[in-house]
Each structure stands twice: as C-alpha cells, then as structure tokens.
C-alpha cells in the first residue's frame, strides 16, 4: 500500500502555500497506516 503511493505527482494546492487538507492527504496515503497511527496516538 505504501509502495503503491510512491513516485506519483500529487496536487497539494500550491508550492509555497499548499492547501493543508491536500497536503495531509498526500503525506498520509495509507489508510492502514493511518489507523495504526491513530490507535497509537490514542494510547
């Protein structure tokens, strides 16, 4: 899942002032990994 997200161009809404939502989605493309991080942060 993580390897599949590598090497693709992503629209983040700008270079100097990117859109926060688009940037967050681009930096965390794996739903499985996001679940693990959320569970870890909750404990």
- For 19, 29, 41, the CA distances from 2, given in Å and listed in that order, are 22, 7, 20
User: For residue 39, what pLDDT is reported?
Assistant: 92
Q: Output the tens digit of pLDDT for each of the chain's 43 residues.
A: 778 778 888 899 999 999 999 998 888 888 898 899 999 888 8
């Amino acid at each position: 899942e993580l390897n599949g997200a590598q090497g693709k161009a992503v629209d983040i809404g700008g270079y100097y002032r990117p859109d926060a939502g688009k940037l967050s989605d681009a930096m965390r493309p794996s739903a499985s990994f996001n679940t693990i991080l959320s569970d870890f942060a909750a404990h």
